[in-house]
Amino acid sequence: MLIYLAIALRVVTKHDNSGEYREETGLKLLSKHSISVGDSIKITTKDAEIAGLLMPRYESASEEYIVIKLKSGYNTGIHVGKIKSITKMLDKDQAVASVRTPAVTAKQNLPKVAFISTGGTIASKIDYRTGGVHAALSADELYASVPELANHASIDPEVLMSEYSENVRPEHWTLMAEKVAEKVTTGRYRGIILSHGTDTMHYTAGALSFALRKLPVPVVLVGAQRSSDRPSSDAALNLLGATIFATESKYAGIFVAMHAGTSDDIIACHVGTRVRKNHTSRRDAFESIDMTPVALVRNNEIKMQQKHPNRLEQRSSDNHFEVNTKFEDRVILLKYYPGFDPMLIEHAINVGYRAIVLEGTGLGHVGRTCFPALKKAVDGGLMVCMTSQCIWGRVRMTVYDTGRDLLDIGVIPLSDMISETATVKAMWALANSKDVEAAKKIMQENLANEISPILSIS
């Protein structure tokens, strides 16, 4: 995301022979031509003419470059030593007017959708005066960013917070859950959309799945892998797909809507406890694990995919859903690896963690060197659960003696529950149970499709 910064370039002076600017400093070069961030400019070098909007530098970027946003939407940097001439074409106000999206009016009598913004780039728009990206705060801005929304829903937006998703903590889940519950309780909305950064969106989807059970309407988390100022952005289609699902799906609960492939044609809608981010940057980074997506949205139409719809809540008019928004943050997720030091388990005990979620190998194993520390943890009242670091498949701790010994110690197997989902469920179970034994029972119950049923083979 672009950052609001003043440009601090080295000033340069024109060399007498070459006609190019030689590096001394740069702010004078811009000041001399009365150029500021957001202006439309044209720069001539010995190789090319480059036109675009003057952008601010990143904090750590070299002071020897001017950054321009090209018409394509991408940014380019030009070394001040290569500049032969620089001309202001339009000032920032004129430049903003030249790229402003025309107003879009929503159709009448459309279903109402509450849009709750928590951060990320999904509903952001670029501010060409500063180069920064900010949340689209109004329905008009959302419709302008994604005009197709005006054909499907009447959007009621609200900014709850503006956080990078890596900064989201359990207390933020509580705020989100309470805000969603507030919107649902009004009975005004056909669905709820929650914008979220992608890095921890699957954690939040899992957390909300436990905090808000038996919802009467769908609550759809949506994000963007690529910033809205890039031509390859997935923001618009993801938001459109989420809106169509929120208004037309027959299912209720917590879902995640993101690209199903690398092309701009299909949005997949995943169950909130069965989805995981599996790629750092691809637009189809999110996948359903051990479960098919609930639906695919293509050409503005929903195609249901779930083969066992009885596992999902049906949309209803009943607002008496269950709201339990507390989370216990003293839960640690530990990934086992060859050479894993059991002192990490000891540390978790000593500093007061209440639960350990192990991401074990294969069917749910850790090395025997960990057994004494795990026994100490269980005997000390910690809840210790086992998931697998394999993406697909189930924990089966009765197959080998290592697993059976772990069961004897008191480690709880969590079948095919995703490690991230298991972590947030442990936080929720501890915060909403009378004691650890009650929390242990909750961890083994299937509350929100976090555990897939074992299907018989006919």
Instruction: For 45-78, give the DSSP string.
Output: ESS-EEEEEEEPPPTTS-TTEEEEE-TTS-EEEE
Which pLDDT score is estimated for 457? 46
Residue 1 lies in a domain: no
Three-class secondary structure of residue 35 per DSSP: coil
Q: Are residues 295 and 218 in the same domain?
A: yes
List 118, 121, 200, 402, catalytic entry:
121
Strand partners, 51: 42
Please tell me whether residues 62 and 48 are part of one structural domain: yes
pLDDT at 239: 92
Q: What is the pLDDT of residue 369?
A: 98
Q: Are 162 and 116 in contact (CB under 8 A)?
A: no
Catalytic status, residue 42: no
Q: How many domains does the chain have?
A: 3
> Is 453 within a domain?
no
The whole-number pLDDT of residue 35 equals: 83
What's the CA gap between 30 and 137, in Å, rounded?
32
199 is catalytic: yes
458, part of any domain: no
Question: What is the total residue count of the chain?
Answer: 458
Residue in 69, 92, 183, 198 annotated catalytic: 198
Same domain, 86 and 162: no
93: three-class secondary structure by DSSP: helix
How far apart are alpha carbons 380 and 288 in whole angstroms? Answer: 36
Question: Could you tell me which residues are beta bridge partners of residue 52?
Answer: 41
Contact 349, 377 (CB under 8 A): yes
Are residues 136 and 248 located together in one domain of the fold? yes
Residue after which a domain boundary falls, among 267, 293, 323: 323
State if pTM tops 0.85: no
Residue 368 and residue 401 in contact, taking contact as beta carbons nearer than 8 Å: no
| pLDDT of the residue at 211 | 98
For position 420, what pLDDT does the model report? 98
Q: Give the CATH number of the domain where residue 414 resides.
A: 3.40.50.40
Residue numbers of the domain that contains 91:
10-97
Helix (H) or strand (E) holding 400: none
- 254: in domain: yes
Could you tell me the CATH number of the domain that includes residue 59?
A: 2.30.30.520
Q: How far apart (Å, rounded) are the C-alpha atoms in residues 237 and 148?
A: 9
Same domain, residue pair 40 and 158 = no
CA angle, residues 284, 285, 291, in degrees to nearest 5: 90
Closest CA to 324 of 399, 162, 436, 212: 212
- Residue given tokens 């957390």 in the structure block: 207
Residue 289 lies in a domain: yes
Kindly tell me the number of DSSP H helices and DSSP E strands found in the chain.
11, 26
- What distances in angstroms separate CA 325 from CA 176, 328, 436, one per listed residue? 9, 10, 18
Q: Do residues 183 and 283 both lie within one domain? A: yes
* 121 noted as active-site residue: yes
One domain, residues 249 and 361: no
- SS3 assignment, position 117: strand
The pLDDT of residue 123 is 53
Domain boundary at 263, 292, 323, which? 323
Does 450 fall in a domain?
Answer: no
- Chunk the chain into consecutive blocks of 10 residues (it has 458) and report each block's average pLDDT, rounded to whole numbers: 31 44 54 80 88 72 75 77 85 61 72 90 57 60 81 92 92 98 96 95 98 97 80 85 96 96 93 97 94 94 77 86 97 98 98 98 98 98 98 97 98 98 98 97 97 68
Distance of CA 77 to the CA centre of its chain: 29
Q: Are residues 37 and 178 in the same domain?
A: no
157 with 211, same domain: the answer is yes
Domain CATH for 125: 3.40.50.1170
Catalytic residue among 277, 387, 423, 440: 277
CA 66/CA 77 separation, integer angstroms = 6
- In this structure, what token pair is assigned to residue 290? 């051990």
Q: Looking at residue 2, what is its pLDDT?
A: 29
The answer to whether residue 419 is domain-embedded is yes
Instruction: Report which residue type is found at 1.
Output: M
Q: Which of 156, 199, 290, 405 is catalytic?
A: 199
Q: Same structural domain for residues 233 and 155?
A: yes
The answer to whether 198 is a known catalytic residue is: yes
- Compute the distance between CA of residue 193 and CA of residue 123 in angstroms, rounded to an integer: 11
Same domain, 69 and 107: no
Q: Which of 54, 81, 97 finishes a domain?
A: 97
Burial of 68 (0-12, 13-18, 19+ CB in 10 A): buried
